[in-house]
Chains A and B, each alone.
Chain A
């Protein structure tokens, strides 16, 4: 089971890395932010799978923190986007 979970973690990490090509290609900052969002979601999945594969119980806490930080990243991007005149 642990080999399967490791392989799944590797696959998700590879897919996230391929998705980061969108940061290079753009064209707008919105597209780059989406790639960062994919990195957040995929990173959580990778940490969870790695934690289950290696038996590291603390990995679930790391994933929870990562979920919070990924949410803040998106909201900070939207607040900093040009044209945001709301208080």
Chain B
């Protein structure tokens, strides 16, 4: 059982780091602000979700599992809201010369 949980952690955390890599690559390589925002907010939140999933497999108590889930849900909610707001600020900035 422990070995199965360890493998879940290794696979999920590795996938999470890969998505952080994708987010950073998108932030640095994509041509304009809105595409960069798209790359960043999706890839990073998924990466953090996978890292949290991997750590849930290592958690010792139900409280820690719950707290990890709360962190992820909070980041997903605030990340998606902030993405909309930042895109709107970007459009306003484009409209003003």
| A: contact size bracket | 35 or more
Contact indicator B27/A34 (Cβ below 8 Å): yes
Contact indicator A74/B82 (Cβ below 8 Å): yes
The residue that A84 contacts in the complex, of B23, B64, B92, B95, with Cβ under 8 A, is B92
A residues near B (Cβ < 8 Å) are 1, 4-5, 8, 11-12, 15-16, 18-19, 21-22, 28, 30-31, 33-35, 37-38, 41-42, 44-45, 48-49, 52, 57, 60-61, 63-64, 67-68, 70-71, 74-75, 77-78, 81-84
B residues near A (Cβ < 8 Å) are 6, 9-10, 13-14, 16-17, 20-21, 23-24, 27-28, 33, 36-37, 40-41, 44-45, 47-48, 51-52, 55, 58, 64, 67-68, 70-71, 74-75, 78-79, 81-82, 85-86, 88-90, 92-93, 95-96
